[in-house]
Structure 1
Amino acid sequence: MKIKQLTICVLICAFAFTSNAQKTTHFYLDSIARLNNLQLTYSEDLVNLQKTIYPTSDSMAFDDYIEMLALKYHLNIQQKGQCLIVTNPRAQTIKISGTLIDLFSGEPQPFAHISQQDWGTGSITNSEGEFELNIPSLLAGFKLDFSSLGYADTSIFIPKTDSLNLIIPIRPKPYNLNEVLVLPNGNTAEDLVRIASKRIKRNFHRKKAQMDAFYRRTGFRDSTFVQLIEAALLVEDKGIDMPTSTTKIKVIEVRKSQNYLVPMSAKYKWAYEKMEKMIHGGHRNMFYMAYNNPVRAYKNEWWYQPLTDYETFRYEFEGAMWLDTIKVYKVQFEYDALYPNGKRASENKQSFHGGYIYIDANDYGIHKMEYLFRLIPKHNNAKYGIKNGIIDQSVISYQKIEGKYYLKYISDIAPTNAKNFIFENPDADDKDKVIKHRQWAETLLVITNVVTERQERQRISNKSMLDHHENSYETNYPYNPDFWENYSMIKQKPLPGKAIEDLEWEKSLELQFIENSTSYVKD
């Protein structure tokens, strides 16, 4: 007969104390099964029950305890007859897709946060406000939350079956117009940045954390998609007090399309690699570079440090805005180095090199940073912008978990590892060259899950850790189609229809993924 009294945890913990068995997931589930005269049933190929866990010692009923274990340790646990069946919830998923839009204007909301608090993971909308999620069916009936800077949070309940092409409106958060342009306590914009920088050690995590991450790199020639690289990564960050060089990354899965970018010449590639070595100390790995961010690297010696170099940057207060119930200050920064001719960089009216910092009005934590280096049309070299005059553009967003800030996502538009420009007349003088095509890359790194508890972290050994100097851009990796088919929660709307058409002009993406993996053997 099933145990209903609120002593099940006490019985299990007492048994754990007197037993020589390891306190693994299997131990606790087997104990529950035996206490209820059930047979524990599972497949070792589908679920790992040998992980050491530390569940709550609070007393609770059988059903509540099972639900707690399922949610906390990402399992699907059900009683069927005389069996306690444990399966992998990722194998049973609900697909949800749609677009997040402004309630009044109907404009899509790009890079908005999507989270499922009970499962402890999430995603973001893409650049068109679209999303596609594969959610464990275990979470049907739970809330899925959407949030975006300047908007009130909104939620939907996860349906029991697939729900596609949803339109989800999000309401703008009204400003208090009396305080929009008022600096707090008479501080200057620079003061706000100084306070935020000073409090980084207090606000951002100082203990080791592990993060599941999704990486996407898309190559473009004009408006045509010509390359796709996607990866599932495990990131181990030792905290804000430790050098960025201590970060470890483990590659879980990688898939690559054909690379249809027009490559650099051998001579230019040699020079490019030498420049990389000089700038990054030989550190060329695109996954490590993708994780690097200005808050995490605020102590690093570098020429571009808007959080700490107050002589080189100028700051202006842009006003206050809301992240749901959180008030944030928006500060513009601009590169303003003093040149040998006595002029400041900001006096150059032919470009903008700066961005914005969004600072929490309560604890001065940094919620978001935006970078932009753009040439205005009258610039002498304006034609050499890679996209609408942009030389480089990035957005870095942070999330707050249990009082500490962690990276949420980084999106970037930048030159690619190929020719940036294809000219109609490549042999002409630079001033006379006519650009026929532009090439650039857009990258995205999304943190989908953060694990802070020591006992729940996986160990990344030096052997399994990705080498900082490995050229992952050119290296092929194993390709596992089943993994990507069941990739849970973070499978955004993979690509617009045009991207698939562009990339599949010669052969299917699936065949390209196979051909660009270590498993491919040419006939």
Structure 2
Amino acid sequence: MTKTNLFFLYQKFMRITLLLFLVLHANTSYAQWLKFVGSVVDIETNQPIPYANISVFNMPVGTCTNSYGDFMLNLPDSLARDRLDISCIGYKSRSLPIDSLIGNDTLLFLLEPKAYQIEDVVVVPGENDVHSLIKNVISKINNNYSRRKYFLEAFFRHRVYNIKENNRTVRLSEAAVSIHQNHYSDDRKKVQINEIRNSNNYAELSTSAGQKLLYTALGGNQNPIYRSLKVERLAQKRFLRKLSKNKHYSVSLKDISFFDDALMYVIEFKQESWEFLFKKYYTTHTYRKYRYYVNANDFAILKAEDIDISYNSQMIGMKNDSVGRNDFIQYRKFDEKYYPTYVHFYGMIPDMVAKNDTANFYMHEADLMVNEIARRRRDYDRIKSRNIMNKNTTLWDLEYEYNPEFWENYNLLLDHPLNPEYKKDLEFEEPLDKQFKQETHVKSRN
């Protein structure tokens, strides 16, 4: 081939490349967005349904309802011919054409409870007895969860409140985060904060040597995002194998329910005893429970829960039968694999040397809501090493440049609106918007 022919081929290639760029750019520029706002409600009780899934059929795009059953979801109009799925554990699922929902100011999705009495279930040894179910769950983990790394875009909210002051909110952090991970390793998890904003810190910090020593003993400077994501270990093969062999836990088939119209088993491990210096002690004041919601068809874990129960009324901040900590994670199926869609944490996270006395006892509540999942390498950019957040980096005193335009348009923030009472608690000195604009938030009530 002559140089002249090569030159003409090169020119033709460049013209085609330029044309494709212009077409793709035009499509992106003129893309329209569909905005859906609404609530999910129990049709029998008329009560809101929290943490229900709102997602596009078989696509890693969607959201969850907040604690009030409300949601907001923005979708590109290219998905108008797809279907929107509404589902929640214990309810019959609904699926509606997206184009049939366009034009409605507010959507109201009514879900019908779908329960199954465990007394009516015939337990067959070797088929659906609880020990066989656990073995099946463990053996199917490789089939149900991706062994490859995947990428999550999520909204994270961390609230700290003083239970000695009627649960008054004393600190708030909100962040848009990216997470690069796989299902099998916690050590390789990478978290990047894209945007963050913090309120002032109105918690009482302590200068006591004893409190500082306790803070260090508990781990100190724990990042609440990584701490919340620890609940993922519950659905890992290594943890389940160890738990199923633990002689200090009893296991039972606690309940049977439905999810996405499929039968679901609720399996519970309950702590009965503990061991110290090779001596066994039975639980009297506190105990732990692990609860698994398992799809009966493929034995996938749809939800895993870690709960600490206290019977010790003398413990600071605790009442009889109170929940001292509660973590859970929910999974959703896309392309034959399950991925996390929602993580909740309630308990204590040592990320400051706080006062712990008759007037102060701080609890932490965190939510991580996944907005989008990218599974193919070409669909996301790897998190660079310099942008990875350390596991011992706190959020509340982090320096940052506040981006008001981002927060005004951030879709997930609207999906999970802040409780007005929390906002009221924080605004006794200055508006929350003004607090967010400060470059650092070391202010506290020392």
Superposition TM-score, scaled by structure 1 size: 0.71
Deviation at 1:363, TM superposition (A): 1.7
Match of residue 385 from structure 2: 462
Gaps of 5+ in 1: 1-14, 34-39, 42-76, 78-84, 424-434
1:224 and 2:160 aligned: no
Q: Is the 8 A contact 2:221 2:352 kept in 1?
A: no
Q: Secondary structure at the match of 2:437?
A: helix
Deviation at 1:341, TM superposition (A): 9.0
1:152 is matched with which residue: 72, 89, 92?
A: 92
Aligned residue for 1:207, secondary structure, equals: coil
Q: 1:118 to 1:193 in 2, by over 3 A?
A: closer
**Structure 1 equivalent of residue 224 of structure 2:** 286
Report the CA distance shift for 1:27/1:255 in structure 2 as closer, same or farther (over 3 A).
Answer: farther
For 1:362 and 1:117, locate their aligned partners in 2 and report how far apart those are by CA, in whole Å: 19
- What residue in structure 2 maps to residue 60 of structure 1? none
The higher-RCO structure (CA 8 Å, 6+ apart) is 2
Deviation at 1:311, TM superposition (A): 2.7
Cα deviations by residue, 1:316-352 (Å, 9 ceiling, x for unpaired)? 111321102221111111123443599866x434434
Q: Which amino acid aligns with 1:411?
A: H
Q: 1:297 to 1:224 in 2, by over 3 A?
A: same
- Residue 141 of structure 1 and its aligned partner are, at CA, apart by 7.5
Aligned 8 A contact 1:319 1:329 in 2:
yes
For the residue of structure 1 that corresponds to 2:414, the secondary structure is coil
Match of 1:208 in 2: 149
Answer whether contact 1:367 1:398 (CA < 8 A) is retained: yes
Which residue in 2 is equivalent to 1:415?
348
What is the aligned partner in structure 2 of residue 368 from structure 1? 303
2:212 maps to which residue? Answer: 270
Find the aligned partners of 1:122 and 1:265 in 2 and give their Cα distance.
45
CA RMSD of superposed structures (Å): 3.6
Answer yes or no: is the 8 Å Cα contact 2:198–2:396 preserved in 1: no
Once the two structures are TM-superposed, the CA of residue 172 in structure 1 deviates from its matched residue by 1.1
Please state how far the C-alpha of 1:464 moved relative to its aligned partner. 2.3
Write the distance in 2 (CA, Å) between the matches of 1:268 and 1:22: 71
User: Superposed, which structure 2 residues align to 1:196-345 within 5 Å?
Assistant: 196-221=137-162, 222-240=166-184, 243-277=185-219, 284-295=222-233, 298=236, 307-340=243-276
Which of residues 435, 446, 451 in structure 1 aligns to 2:369? 446
Quote the residue 2:3 is aligned against.
none
In 1: Cα distance, 2:353 partner to 2:319 partner? 11
In the other structure, the counterpart of 2:13 is 19
For 1:504 and 1:327, the matched residues in 2 are separated by 47
Cα 1:374–1:178 shift into 2, 3 Å: closer
TM-superposed CA distance for 1:297, in Å, is 7.3
Q: Which amino acid aligns with 1:251?
A: I
Deviation at 1:389, TM superposition (A): 2.3
Structure 2 CA distance, aligned partners of 1:136 and 1:503?
36
Total equivalences in the alignment: 427
Aligned counterparts of 1:122 and 1:490: Cα–Cα separation in 2: 13
Instruction: Spell out, residue by residue over 1:119-144, the C-alpha distance to the aligned partner (whole angstroms, 9 max, x if none).
Output: 74222122232334455566667644
1: CA distance between counterparts of 2:194 and 2:79? 24
Question: Could you tell me how far apart the structure 2 residues matched to 1:495 and 1:285 are?
Answer: 21
Identity %: 23
Q: Does 1:506 align with 2:429?
A: yes
Which is worse superposed, 359-368 or 115-124? Answer: 115-124
Structure 1 residues 142, 202: closer, same or farther in 2, change over 3 A?
closer
Counterpart-to-counterpart distance in 2, 1:408 and 1:487: 18
Q: Can you give the 5+ residue segments of structure 2 that lack an aligned partner in the other structure?
A: 1-8
Asked whether the 8 Å contact 1:218–1:225 carries over to 2, the reply is yes
C-alpha distance in structure 2 between counterparts of 1:369 and 1:498, whole Å: 29
Report the Cα distance in structure 1 between the residues aligned to 2:290 and 2:72, rounded to whole angstroms: 30
1:172 aligns with 2:113: yes
SS at match of 1:19: helix
What displacement does 1:442 show? Answer: 0.7
1:238 and 1:247 in contact (8 A); partners too:
yes
